[in-house]
Each structure stands twice: as C-alpha cells, then as structure tokens.
Amino acid sequence: MLQLSVLKDQTERVLAGLAKRNFKTAEADVRAVLDLDQRRRSLQTQHDQAQSEANELARQIGGLMKSGDKAGAEALKVRTTELKAQIKLHADELTATEKAQTELLYKIPNVPHESVPAGRSAEDNEVVREAGTKPELAAGALPHWELIKKYDIIDFELGIKITGAGFPVYKGQGARLQRALVNFFLDEARDAGYLEVQPPILVNEASGYGTGQLPDKEGQMYHDAADNLYLIPTSEVPITNLYRDEIIPVEKLPIRNTGYTPCFRREAGSWGADVRGLNRLHQFDKVEIVQITQPDNSYAAHATMVAHVEQLLQKLELPYRVLRLCGGDMGFTSALTYDLEVWSAAQGRWLEVSSVSNFEAFQANRLKCRYKVEGGKTQLLHTLNGSALALPRIVAALLENNQTAEGIRLPQVLHAYCGFDTIK
C-alpha cells in the first residue's frame, strides 16, 4: 500500500509511474484519496476541538459544583451534552472516512521503479541478458508430457482421479527428482546466508492483505470459507508475514529467509497448448527466498537475489534469460521485477521459472514492518522475494533438454541428491 506522504508529496511521480502500468483510474483514485485525507484532517480537528472544549467545561463544572453554583454548573452541562453528541458524530465520520480511504488505497498498485520500461504485456518486457547454450535435440525428441509417460515418473490421470486436473502424482524417479531439487535449492539458499523456515501453508485474511494478495487476487486463491483461511499461492505470504506488526532491531537486518512449501493457485481461465503438462498446475512445489532490508540497501539486495537464481540455473546447466518486466506485466505489489526463464528445447520456447521482485515499502506499509532510525523514530523497511526455484517448469526443461536414446541424463549437481544420474 502506498504511503499517504508519498501520494501527497510526490503526486506527479506517482501518477507518471502508474501511467507505466496503464492504470486507468490512477488520477481519479489518487485525487479521491487526497480529498478523503483532507476531510479526515478536518474532522480530526473538529473532534479534537470539541473534546478540548468538553474537557475544559468538565473542569469548570467541577469548580462551580465545589463553590455551590449548581445553576451555573447545570447551564454548562447543557453545552457538554451538545459537545458529546458532536464528538460521537465526528468519531463515526472519522471511522467511515478512514475506512473509505484505506479501501481506496488497497486498490492502487505500487509505483514502478524508474528503470521499469513502459509497456502493456509480456511482449514489451526487456531482455536484459541470455546465458547458456540451447541444446540441439535429435529427430523424434519428445515434449515433457510425453516423456513422463514414457518413463512413468508423473501421472496426471491419477491426479485427476484423486483431485482434479492440475494436481499430478509424482512417483518413482519423478518423486525422487522432486525431492532432490527441493533439497538442492534449500542447501544453496542456506549456503548463501538464508535461514530456512517451514511456514504454514494456510494463512489468515490479515496475512493475505499484508503481502497484497488481498483484495487483488482473492479469485486466484483456494479459500476455506468455514475458517476463513487461504491456501498459499507462494511461501512469500507466510514468510514475509512472520514480520507483520514488528519493529526489527537494526542489528538483525537484513533478514534473509528461505522456505519450501507446496503452492496452490486456481489459475482460473487458463487453457490451451501453452499450459500442457507441467507448464501450469494448480498445486506445485517451490523454494522461496525472502529479504527484508533497510531502504538504502534494497536494490543491492535485489541484485544479489537475481544472481543467486542465475547461479542455480547455471549449476542445473539450463540455458536461461533474464527479463525486466514492463509496467503492464508487473505484479500489483512490485516496484521492480526480473523474470528468469529457461529454454524448453522440445517445446521451442522460454518458460518462466522465477520472479524476483523488490516491493520497496509497499508491503511493509501494509504489514507495519519497521525499524528504528536515529532519534528513536520508526521507518518502513523494504521487502523482497524471489522463486529459487519453482519446480514444474524446471523439471519440464530438464526432461526435454537432456533426453537421449539411453534415458534422461541429469546434470552433475543433482546426481548425489537423486541417487542416480539418469532417468531410465
């Protein structure tokens, strides 16, 4: 959530940034928030003045009663009754105004960083760099959805039988590859200085609002109405919410956490060839990295997170590219996002496997995640997160890019984790 001080002091910058996102109601929404803030301030002044007058009259009434001037006291009590009614009216209006202001603030996305290119869709994203060599596959090479049948390592039909489409069953070497990748990613994150945590996979409404999934993406999350809990779309949600309503000592910054969880997304409206097999699922496994830093350090931290993900892809021997997302393709809460994609040889296209985002103070403002600066004042921190990594499309690329007549040869770094070097 954008800070009111930013909206007031940097209105033109905010509007210019929101224009990069093609946010059509930006000017109307920002002006409405500022108008509500003026109304709130006016009501607060009236409330405080009435309260101050009531307090003074109460003091005078006490004096009059002590001096025996009951008539004078009763006359002042009439005014006190009027003031109490005004105070209640002002308090009710303040509550309504603050609620309307907050609800409107929840609708306004984050302001993009100055480096974010303008654009409307993924077609306008900027390719920052590309690395690795695309493999040349032999004639008759298969896409991963055919390979998993050939080697009997993932069963989509069993998943449909148990749950529904988009919930595959991993088995044999497929299950072991999943576990190997999770352990590899967690170990790499630990070696990079991240503390491993194992968070809940159900979160409450406050957590959804804290990281910005609510009210923006409630339609994409599975919801347990009986307990009003949500299955997490990413472990960013519970891990970042560990620090909701916290004032973090400077000496504990930066915070670096990593965690593995299953993730759940309804992916409503998704269909077509581009989402076949592992390309898009309702349930999938992912290792996440999260940092919480002082504002001056957040973009340096962001760069190290992108480099960390690149290192993982290099060790997996997967050709990849890094994209800077344009304003129209960026997530609601992000100020700057880099996507990392791997080359899927049999499909002949790039597959997104990671998004690394700096949210600046947008999430922290919702979370009330702060630290104390010099003089004892509190200031909002910056939050960041990235996939390191999401498994399904990594598995798809590994299967397709490494298929041979003898089987699917896995990269060296996974041999010890899997206990085998080839899927046969």
Please give the annotated binding residues, written as ranges: 234, 265-267, 288, 352-355, 385
Q: State the Cα–Cα distance between residues 205 and 237, nearest whole angstrom.
A: 11
Feature table: binding site for L-serine: 234, 265, 288, 385
Q: Which of 87, 80, 42, 84 is nearest to 64 (CA)?
A: 80
Q: State the Cα–Cα distance between residues 362 and 211, nearest whole angstrom.
A: 9
- Write out the H or E segment, with its range, that includes residue 345: none
Q: State the Cα–Cα distance between residues 406 and 424, nearest whole angstrom.
A: 7
Feature table: binding site for ATP: 265-267, 352-355
List, in order, residues 6 or more apart from 396 with CB less than 8 Å away.
144, 277, 278, 279, 344, 347, 351
Question: CA–CA distance from 63 to each of 53, 54, 58, 66, 243 (Å)?
Answer: 15, 14, 9, 5, 51
Question: Scanning the structure block, which residue is given the tokens 């509190």?
Answer: 378
Torsion of CA 102, 21, 331, 315, to 10 degrees: -150
Residue 106 neighbours by CB distance under 10 Å: 14
Q: State the Cα–Cα distance between residues 260 and 284, nearest whole angstrom.
A: 11
